[in-house]
Amino acid sequence: MQSFPRIVPPVRRVAVAGGTHGNEMSGVCLARHWLGSGRAELQRPHIHVEPFLANTRAVERCIRYVDADLNRVFTDKNLRQPKSDNPLYEVCRAQEINETYGPIGSERAYDMLLDMHNTTSNMGISLVLTSSSDHLTLHMAQFLQRKLHPIPCNFLLIEHPTLTYFHVRRVMKHGISIEIGPQPQGVARADITDHMRRSVAYCLDFMHKLNSGMELPASTLDVHRIDRYIDYPRDGDGHITAIIHPAFQDRDWQLLHPGTPIFVSLSGEAIAFEGQETVFPVFINEAAYYEKKIAFWITKRETLNVEPLRVEDGPHKECTST
Three-state SS at 226: strand
Is 286 marked active-site? no
| Model confidence pLDDT, tens digit, residues 140-160 | 999 999 999 999 999 999 999
Residues 6+ apart with CB under 8 A from 148: 125, 198, 199, 202
Across the range 107-129, mean pLDDT stands at 98
User: Once rounded to an integer, what is the mean pLDDT over residues 115-140?
Assistant: 98
Q: For the chain, give the mean pLDDT.
A: 94
Q: Active-site residue among 50, 90, 179, 286?
A: 179
Number of domains, the chain: 1
Q: Which domain holds residue 56?
A: 6-223+305-311
With a cut of 50, say whether residue 118 has pLDDT above it.
Answer: yes
CB 20 within 8 A of CB 40: no
The CATH number of residue 38's host domain is 3.40.630.10
pLDDT value, residue 4 = 79
* Any domain includes 234: no
Buried b / exposed e over 295-315, threshold 16 CB at 10 Å, is: bbbbbeeeebebbbbbbeeee
Q: Is residue 244 part of a domain?
A: no
Q: Are 74 and 94 in contact (CB under 8 A)?
A: yes
Please tell me the predicted confidence (pLDDT) of residue 163. Answer: 82
Helices (H), the chain: 25-35, 56-61, 76-80, 89-101, 135-148, 190-211
Contact 92, 86 (CB under 8 A): yes
Q: Which 8-state DSSP code applies to residue 4?
A: P
For 170-202, what is each residue's pLDDT tens digit? 999 999 999 999 999 999 999 999 999 999 999
**Residue 114 belongs to a domain:** yes
Residue 209 lies in a domain: yes
Establish if 59 belongs to a structural domain.
yes
In a domain, 288, yes or no: no
CA distance 138 to 132: 8
pLDDT of residue 2: 54
- Chain segment 275-303, per-residue pLDDT in tens: 999 999 999 999 999 999 999 999 999 99
> Does a structural domain hold residue 229?
no
- Beta bridge partners, 207, equal none
pLDDT digits (tens, 9 = 90+) for 217-273: 999 999 999 999 999 999 999 999 999 999 999 999 999 999 999 999 999 999 999
Residue 281 lies in a domain: no
